[in-house]
Chains A and B, each alone.
Chain A
Amino acid sequence: MSILVNSETRVVVQGITGREGTFHTRQCVDYGTNVVAGVTPGKGGQDMDGIPVFDTVDQAVQKEGANASLIFVPPPFAGDAILEAAHAGVDVIVCITEGLPTIDMVKVKDTLAGMGTKLVGPNCPGVITPGECKMGIMPGFIHKEGSVGVISRSGTLTYEAVGQLTEMGIGQSTCIGIGGDPVIGSSFLDLLKLFGEDDDTEAVVLIGEIGGSAEEEAAEYIKEHYQKPVVSFIAGQTAPPGKRMGHAGAIIAGGKGTAAEKVAALEEAGVTVTSSPAEIGSSVAGVLGR
């Protein structure tokens, strides 16, 4: 088992005929993802490598039974694309697009509340259940089927963690990059809960970074409710306050959101926190007794 996506997932790609959309759709298909449709308004009736292209997500859901959407449309239109997919009734939306205005996401999040659709991103590498479904831009080959769940705010740092796990022979159930923006779809907390209910996930790796309080909220939940072992690394221990470290969300503002605060909260919740990004894999091996 796994969370969010698996071999049954039927993916529609919004923005499939764009440069990024076409490139990554091919990579996903090569990995074995079941891409059943694409959407580009005005290009309905065409196809991309034999994948039918529709004008609307509704058509993709009606005609091809799509139940998950992968979004590559440019930032001015990405909020609209997320809501289109949600209203078409897909279960999972993964928005890769980087650069959505924050106020747009505030409105989108509010509209999604109560709709039952799970959004991952924006500005994220996506979701992968190794061996079954890759809905994102991560390099598929570094992953390995297994029982460790990975949740991260970053892209390449997720690959680093996954690379270390695979190198040590530790496979992953599902890996999710949740994105580095201030307002995002699924949070650490949402996904920890899903991994908690997933019988095939033995342990969870949580990779955080400076800024915001998502790690502290996760720590609170872990402390009260979590049974499975959690290993964590927080990036930005050496970042100076007031400087935005690439991600719009990664900034220490008003003295809040420091790595030290996050590490303390997680350790108090019983999480194994490593201060070295080179020891994420070995820390997981430690808690699993391997």
Chain B
Amino acid sequence: MKVHEYQAKELLKQYGIPVPEGGVVAESIGTKVVVKAQIHAGGRGKAGGVKLVDTPEQAAKVADGLLGKSLVTYQTGPEGSVVNQVLVEGALAIASELYLGMVIDRATERVAVMACTEGGVEIETVAAETPEKILKEFADPNMGLMPYQARKLAFGLGLKGKTASAAASFILKLYRLFVDKDCSIAEINPLITTEDGAVIALDAKLNFDDNALYRQEAVTELRDLGEEEPLEIEASKHGLSYIKLDGNVGCMVNGAGLAMATMDIIKLAGGEPANFLDVGGGAKEESVTNAFKIILADKNVKAVLVNIFGGIVRCDIVAQGVINAARTLDLKTPVIVRLEGTNADEGMRLIDESGLKFETAKGLKAAAEKSVAAATAAGGE
């Protein structure tokens, strides 16, 4: 789960981490202010979503210009993301721009703390071109990040005296937040220092582990549904995992790995998948109907491939779900059904005897080829 910058900064404040003075009223801040569009995607600065102004009147004007508009950044895709809030903060005199990031590193299976003197830029670029510039410390899972590790990073960044202590303290507090709140990513880019020795989070990005939301009530309340794909929200309500893609062959599959493999074989057969959809381990008739509704809500879909390898999921139940969906939704789109595993024969018999115009396939390859052919034929009309 992602949150907005202003929400992340509220959490940082709760942990005693310095952030710029800000809020919604420009007058109380005094001098120059920065107006920042609040969307989940990065790259806002380059896209014109972050502006420096001199007066409250200008701030109001800039905010007006951003609110309600769609902001297109390299992370949003061409349709952009609508700005519903702006954050107004006092502008600071920056002495240096640094980078601080924390993730759970899969290779070491620990929380990795990364720091770099190249702040304010794409950290992926730094990692690719000059990996030696990224300092790393790994937190002991049971002891946590130790003060000496935070000091190593702070001094490693070339900081001195009061600034170095402030940075070390900042790093330890952010680690505490990361673990307490079940973050998956915490990124402060840039982390800035000022001439008077302060270390401040100029930007803040926090992502959270979806698996841990059950114990993070306060974090869960920060979810902004307006930032998410409506069909993906609808799918998650029904326990389905759905991701919209750009092709025209809809896919309904059980299991994430098989769902990805189904997308792959559609591509190999010369088509393009319209979505990733995992109906999950306990697929019932109702979840199959809901899955169909979601797949068909995408108007690009010209054919649907149902690919089920029954384990816990019984193919006869899936087949009944497909038949019900076709009847209740008065389905016109061609549907290709491939069932394998638990009760597959029974499922295929139901499909064949339904009297509805389904196409069936034996094997993954044939199923993909038939689906692509059907989508191509329908798309050409």
Contact = CB atoms under 8 A, between A and B. Distances in A.
Interface of A: 75-76, 98-107, 109-111, 125, 137-139, 142, 152-160, 163, 180, 182-183, 207, 209-210, 212-214, 217, 233, 235-240, 242-250, 254-255, 275-279
Contact of B182 (A98, A103, A158): A103
A203 to B, nearest CB: 20
B369 to A, nearest CB: 10
Contact of B109 (A183, A207, A244, A278): A183
Contacts of A254: 123-124, 127
A236 to B, nearest CB: 4
Given A139-B341, A248-B210, A243 B309 contact: no
Contact of B264 (A98, A104, A180, A238): A238
B350 to A, nearest CB: 19
Contacts of A142: 341
B109 A109 contact: yes
Size category, B interface:
35 or more
B141 A238 contact: no
Contacts of B111: 103, 106
A101 B209 contact: yes
Contact of A106 (B75, B104, B243, B265): B104
A217 B342 CA distance: 35
B363 interface: yes
B311 A157 contact: no
A185 to B, nearest CB: 11
A100 B211 CA distance: 6
Contact of A246 (B182, B273, B278, B368): B278
A250 B260 contact: yes
B267 interface: yes
Contacts of B273: 238
Contacts of B212: 101-104
B292 interface: no
Contacts of A278: 265, 363-365, 368
B264 A106 contact: no
Contacts of B214: 75-76
B310 interface: yes
18 contacts: A100-B211, A103-B182, A109-B141, A137-B311, A139-B342, A155-B258, A156-B257, A159-B309, A163-B341, A182-B104, A235-B260, A239-B260, A243-B276, A245-B256, A246-B276, A247-B257, A275-B268, A277-B265
Interface in B222-238: none
A107 B368 CA distance: 42
Given A106-B109, A142-B341, A183-B106, 10 more contacts: A139-B341, A152-B257, A156-B309, A210-B260, A213-B106, A239-B263, A245-B259, A246-B278, A276-B268, A279-B365
A23 to B, nearest CB: 8
Nearest to A249: B106
Contacts of B332: none
Contacts of B46: none
A207 B241 CA distance: 21
B138 to A, nearest CB: 11
A110 B188 CA distance: 27
Contacts of B258: 154-157, 159-160, 235, 277
Of residues A154, A159, A233, which shows the largest number of chain B Cβ atoms within 10 Å of its Cβ?
A: A159
A183 B245 CA distance: 27
Q: Is the interface of A mostly helix, strand, loop or mixed?
A: loop
Contacts of A138: 311
Contacts of B281: 98, 137, 155
A75 B257 contact: no
A102 B276 contact: no
Contact of A236 (B254, B255, B264): B264
Interface string B207-222: 0011110110000000
B293 interface: no
A212 B106 contact: yes
B106 A247 contact: no
Nearest to B363: A278
Contacts of A242: 75
Given A236-B264, A238-B267, A103 B256 contact: no
Nearest to B214: A76
Contacts of A139: 310-311, 341-342
B95 interface: no
A276 B260 contact: no
Of residues B268, B273, B363, which shows the largest number of chain A Cβ atoms within 10 Å of its Cβ?
A: B268
B338 to A, nearest CB: 11
Contacts of B209: 101-103, 248
B100 to A, nearest CB: 16
A212 B11 CA distance: 29
Interface in B147-200: 179, 182, 184
A245 B260 contact: yes
B255 A154 contact: yes
A43 to B, nearest CB: 24
A239 B276 contact: yes
A276 B341 contact: no
A152 B260 CA distance: 14
B312 interface: yes
B107 interface: yes
Contacts of A109: 109, 141
B4 to A, nearest CB: 18
A98 B210 CA distance: 12
A99 to B, nearest CB: 5
Given A99-B211, A159-B311, A247 B261 contact: no
Contacts of B265: 276-278
A209 B49 CA distance: 36
A107 to B, nearest CB: 5
A279 B365 CA distance: 9
Of residues B109, B110, B243, B265, which shows the largest number of chain A Cβ atoms within 10 Å of its Cβ?
A: B109
